[in-house]
Structure 1
Amino acid sequence: MRDGAESQISADLLEWYDREARVMPWRVGPAERAAGERPDPYRVWLSEVMLQQTTVAAVRDYFRRFTERWPDVAALAAAEDADVMAEWAGLGYYARARNLLKCARAVANDHGGRFPETADALRALPGVGPYTAAAIAAIAFDEPAVVVDGNVERVVSRLFAIEAPLPGAKPELTRLAGTITPQARPGDHAQAMMDLGATICTPRNPLCGLCPLRRDCRGYAAGLQTVLPRKAPKPEKPTRRGFAYVAVGPAGGVLLERRPDKGLLGGTLGFPGSDWAEAPEPAPPFRAEWQPGGQVRHTFTHCHLELQVMVTRAARPGMVARDAFRPGDLPTLMRKVWDAAQSAL
Structure 2
Amino acid sequence: MATEETYVPWAQKEGYEDLVPVPQNDAPNCLVPIAYDTMYRDCMDTFRALVAKGEKSERTLEVTQWIIRLNPGHYSVWKYRADTLLEMKSSMTEELDLLDQLVQYHLKSYQVWQHRRTIILALNDPSRELDFTAKALAIDEKNYHTWAYRQWVLCHFWSTARSLSPEDAAALSRERRDQVEQVWRGELEYVDKLLESDIRNNSAWNHRFFVSFESGMGGDDAGKREIQYAKEKLAISPNNPSAWNYLRGVLARLSIPLSSASPFATPLALNTPASMPPTEPAISPAAELPAYLAIEFLADARAEEARAQERAQDEREKAAKEAAELFRSLIEYDPIRRNYWNWQAQQAETVAAA
TM-score scaled to structure 1, two decimals?
0.24
**The structure with more helix, counted as a fraction of residues:** 2
Bigger Rg, structure 1 or 2 = 2
**The structure with more strand, counted as a fraction of residues:** 1
TM-score scaled to structure 2, two decimals?
0.24
Flag the structure with more relative contact order, 1 or 2, with Cα contacts below 8 A and sequence separation at least 6: 1
